[in-house]
Structure 1
Amino acid sequence: MTSPTQSCVVAIMGTRPEIIKMAPVVLALRKQGMPTHVLHTGQHEEMAWPLYEFFGIKPAEIIRLKREVPTLPALASELMSAIGTQLSSLQPAAALVHGDTSSAAMGALAAAFLQIPVGHVEAGLRSGRMDEPFPEEINRSLIGRVSHWHFAPTAQASSNLQRENVPGSVSIVGNTVVDAVLLAAQHVRAQRLAGQPIANPDYQWFLDSGLRKLVLVTAHRRENWGAPMEQIASAVAALLQQCPDAAVIWPLHLNPLVQQAVRAVHAACTPDIQQRWRLSAPLDYPPMVEIMDAANLLLTDSGGIQEEGLSLHKPLLVMRDVTERPEVITCGGGLLVGTDPHRIVSAAASVLADGRLPGLAPTHGQANPFGDGTSGAQIAAVLRKHLHGAHAATPHPLPV
């Protein structure tokens, strides 16, 4: 166990998107000479460790979750207790959380209860509905009430926080996912250009297929479990039927409900459709970015891929009814299509035909609303100023 120190920053993370989006912050803090500990919460395991290795941010503290009861309250309770124990031992100057996961919410609460100032990376995202995305919208709002620094990715996110009159300071810094995806894209492009491509059987499958168009699909949201997931899978089958020169790569989420729904539709397809529709295991980050970079279209219900796809100038169809990232829609980079198969197929076929989202101009040349890839450095600069200034930050008192 690392000895307690008031000068360190603890970055709390444990899910795939948290690690990707917090890595640029950790790297920037360390570059500026600020001791930064990574606390791995264990919320994701198999997907986590290759990411830590890729970004070079090996955790100093690791939580081993038991997860004996598969409910959100049980997970929240276990996370808060374990994170609180680690923070009590470390006694850091600040704790950083990212986004909207259970790890982030319980990490923020545990730090606040211990009167450790909290910094919220990717603060201020709001869909306006507590049931979608669930429980993420609840978690975001909760973290906002206990944070000392709010690192908002966009002006819209900052406005959301100002409207809610949150405590602490709000800084518009862009989204750290831009830093991460550009770093990964540069890496995979350089490797391929040097004749030493990264190991990526899924992308190689597409290259060997001889097909001209590539569609990447990701779907895992809780509100899309069950019938909506079956509708999404049916839309993919119909799209392949309509577009014989297209291939689909779908890295399947490990959740059994997602697996069952998608595999059932895939199994019912004709051999020709099955041969052009590759169901794969969840991918490490560099292979995933390589496929995104090569794709003609992204079909997703993910939040992070909306930002990553926009950063790579890829047309996005968002298979949700609302998004807490409205900038994707307002800048013309994506369309909300829900889970209705007819809407998905119509829009997707249009993109594959002419490279444009129906009714919208291409986004090439437009400024990325999520930033320029310097978000990690901006966050590190804010923290360095406050933590190394004349007076250390103090947390906002919570009502007892």
Structure 2
Amino acid sequence: MTLSSSILLCMGTRPEIIKMAPVYHALKAANLRPLVLHTGQHREMANPMYEFFGMQPALSLELERRRESLSHLSSLMVDKIGKILEDSAPSAVLVHGDTSSALMAALAAFYQQIPVGHVEAGLRSHCAYDPFPEEKNRELIGRLASWHFAPTAQARANLLREGIAAETIHTVGNTIVDAVHLAGQMDGAKEAAIPELQRDLARLPALLPGRRLMLVTSHRRENLDGPLANIAGAVRDLLLESPDLLVVWPVHANPRVKETVHAVLDELPAEAAERLFLTQPMGYAALMWLLHRAWLVLTDSGGIQEEAAAVHTPILVLRETTERPELIEAGAGRLVGTDRQTIVTAVRELATRPETAAAMRNAINPFGDGHAGQRIAQVLSTNLAPQFPWLSASPVSA
């Protein structure tokens, strides 16, 4: 097989890998020959995700960063990805979401007149600097892409308002729902095979009966330092006032995140400290295990909002704006920001008003039915058939 008869999937962050895994497997099932380019981020977090989902990268980006600026990172990526595309000349490039690597991959492909498909297109917070730089990244990818794979009707409407041609927008659902289903089929999802349950969470199963489990994640750029300290402070307050509360917080690898979280939570009294689990970043099987057992999720992660909705776990969103208003409108989540007292008050309300928490659990998932990957494969199969002459004339089932 030559690379020019392939579809190149660019990904690197943990959420990208999770959400692109169903697309990879759907393309493979449709004989569309997907190849993965790892764009270089957080290899210690990325490699286990690739292994779990059975899609080892065929290509990998090596970035020699000399400073932390976004402009330096972007220039490195567009140059390196451009060289890879020159050498491989794939028939199409797929990018996901809103990372700077996704934007640079789309730009590099555009420069070489390779068509780009944007998975999870059309999300908008309508605030240029929140999230930063993601809001502008996804807007700019929208000007470069040939195919826009929108997860919801709202995302489609956002694209139409920006003048994107209707025939290029395909409302397919969110691939995160596919990923949750796919994870349940993996051998690694078996409880006895989850290493975190033997290591970081070894004490947790015995503590669960009769207690409420709260999963916390926070690492967004706009929440670093002060806002993150507020979130950690709210968790501290809740642990001190609620003896039946258990908290698991997988702490992001970013040193600024680690320092802030541990500075607030390392000196808890012994009884509260016994109910707090500050862990390494979780593998996907462990995350799913936690989400299925959680009473509540506090997060600023877009992916975890969607995953929690897929398993009907209530979510409090630790952000001031959201590009996923469908979650809030469906009643599955609430936007609470990063004020310490506001977070504490919102959690108290759910604890004292079980009917409110029940309504959130029973909300209809707004993110789709778990067949987004197949729909993306169908669109690409139809559009790329002249370049893939071996494709069957029969359509891919959705």
TM range (shorter): over 0.9
What one-letter code is carried by the residue in structure 2 that aligns with 1:303?
G
Describe the superposition over 1:115-147 as per-residue Cα deviations: whole angstroms up to 9, x where unpaired: 000000000000001111111001000100000
Map Cα deviations across residues 245-281 of structure 1 (whole Å, 9 max, x no partner): 1110101111122111111111232222222111111
Q: Is the 8 A contact 2:22 2:182 kept in 1?
A: no
Once residues 125 and 160 of structure 1 are traced to their aligned partners in structure 2, the CA distance between those partners, rounded to angstroms, is: 7
Whether the aligned pair in 2 keeps the contact of 1:335 and 1:357 (CA below 8 Å) is no
The 5-angstrom pairing of residues 158-307 of structure 1 reads 158-167=156-165, 169-187=168-186, 191-192=190-191, 196-201=192-197, 202-210=200-208, 212-307=211-306
Q: Is the 8 A contact 1:203 1:291 kept in 2?
A: no
Quote the offset at 1:351 in angstroms.
2.4
2:128 is paired with a residue of what secondary structure? coil
Matching residue of 1:310: 309
- How far, CA to CA, are the matches of 2:240 and 2:285 in structure 1? 30
1:330 aligns with 2:326: no
The Cα offsets for residues 85-143 of structure 1, whole Å up to 9 and x where unpaired, read as: 11111111110000001110000000001100000000000000111111100100010
Deviation at 1:357, TM superposition (A): 4.3
Shift of 1:341: 1.5
Deviates more, 1:15-24 or 1:165-174: 165-174
How far, CA to CA, are the matches of 2:72 and 2:37 in structure 1?
20
Provide the C-alpha distance between the structure 1 equivalents of 2:7 and 2:208, rounded to a whole number of angstroms: 49
Deviations along 1:329-379, one digit per CA (max 9) or x if unpaired, are: 000000011111221112112323454546x82342x54211111000000
Greater per-residue helix proportion: 2
> SS of 1:10's equivalent?
strand
For this pair of structures, how many residues does the alignment match? 385
Structure 1 residue aligned with 2:32: 34
- Of all paired residues, the percent bearing the same amino acid is 49
Change in Cα spacing, 1:237 to 1:142, as seen in structure 2 (3 Å) is same
Could you say which residue in structure 2 is the equivalent of 1:69?
Answer: 67
Task: Tell me the amino acid that sits aligned with residue 370 of structure 1.
Answer: F
SS in 1 for 2:277: strand
Q: Is the 8 A contact 1:240 1:246 kept in 2?
A: yes
Q: Is the 8 A contact 1:334 1:357 kept in 2?
A: no
Q: Which residue of 2 aligns with 1:374?
A: 371
In the alignment, structure 1 residue 87 sits paired with structure 2 residue 85: yes
Deviation at 1:391, TM superposition (A): 11
- SS of the equivalent of 2:360 reads coil
Structure 1: runs of 5 or more not aligned: 393-400
The answer on whether the counterparts of 1:42 and 1:64 sit within 8 Å (CA) in structure 2 is yes
Structure 1 residues 268, 191: CA separation in 2 closer, same or farther (over 3 Å shift)?
closer
Partner amino acid, structure 2, of 1:106:
M
SS of 1:110's equivalent in the other structure is helix
After TM superposition, the score normalised by the length of structure 1 is 0.92
Q: How far, CA to CA, are the matches of 1:41 and 1:189 in structure 2? A: 25
Letter in 1 for 2:146: H
Distance (whole Å) between structure 2 residues aligned to residue 160 and residue 330 of structure 1? 16
Instruction: After TM superposition, give the deviation of residue 37 of structure 1 in Å.
Output: 0.8
Amino acid in structure 1 at the alignment position of 2:196: N
Backbone CA RMSD of aligned residues: 2.0
Q: Name 1:145's counterpart in structure 2.
A: 143
| Contact 1:213/1:246 (8 A) holds in 2 | yes
Any stretches of 5+ residues in structure 2 without a counterpart? 390-398
In the superposition, relative to structure 1, how do residues 79 and 189 fare at CA in structure 2: closer, same or farther (>3 Å)?
closer
How far apart, in 2, do the equivalents of 1:82 and 1:375 lie? 30
Q: 1:182 to 1:98 in 2, by over 3 A?
A: same
Post-superposition, which runs of at least 4 consecutive aligned residues in structure 1 deviate over 4 A? Answer: 186-190, 353-358, 389-392
Given that 1:185 and 1:290 are in contact with CA atoms closer than 8 Å, whether structure 2 keeps it comes out as no
* 1:33 counterpart letter in structure 2: N
Q: CA deviation at 1:10?
A: 0.5
Matched, 1:321 2:320: yes
2:195 counterpart SS class: coil
The equivalent of 1:397 in structure 2 is: none
2:286 is matched by which residue type in structure 1? P
- Contact 1:39-1:60 within 8 A present in 2 as well: yes
C-alpha distance in 2 between matches for 1:205 and 1:338: 31
Partners of 2:354 and 2:84 in 1: CA distance = 50
Aligned equivalents of 1:163, 1:331: Cα separation in 2: 22
Per the normalisation by structure 2, the TM-score is 0.92
Check 1:391–1:8 CA distance in 2 against 1; reply closer, same or farther (3 A cut).
Answer: closer
> Shift of the alpha carbon at 1:226?
1.3
Task: For residue 188 of structure 1, report the CA deviation from its aligned partner.
Answer: 7.5
Given that 1:315 and 1:357 are in contact with CA atoms closer than 8 Å, whether structure 2 keeps it comes out as no
1:213–1:352 contact (8 Å) kept in structure 2: no
- Is the 1:185–1:293 contact (alpha carbons within 8 Å) kept by the matching residues of 2? no
Q: Distance in 2 between matches of 1:336 and 1:162?
A: 26
Asked if residue 106 in structure 1 is aligned to residue 96 in structure 2, the reply is no
What residue is the counterpart of 1:56 in the other structure?
A: 54
Deviates more, 1:167-176 or 1:130-139: 167-176
Worse-superposed segment, 35-44 or 216-225: 35-44
- Relative distance call for 1:85 and 1:213 in structure 2 (3 A) is same
Q: Give me the whole-angstrom Cα distance separating, in 2, the residues matched to 1:251 and 1:283.
A: 6
Q: Which moved more, 1:246-255 or 1:63-72?
A: 63-72
CA shift, 1:287, in A, is 0.9
Per the alignment, residue 126 of structure 1 pairs with 124
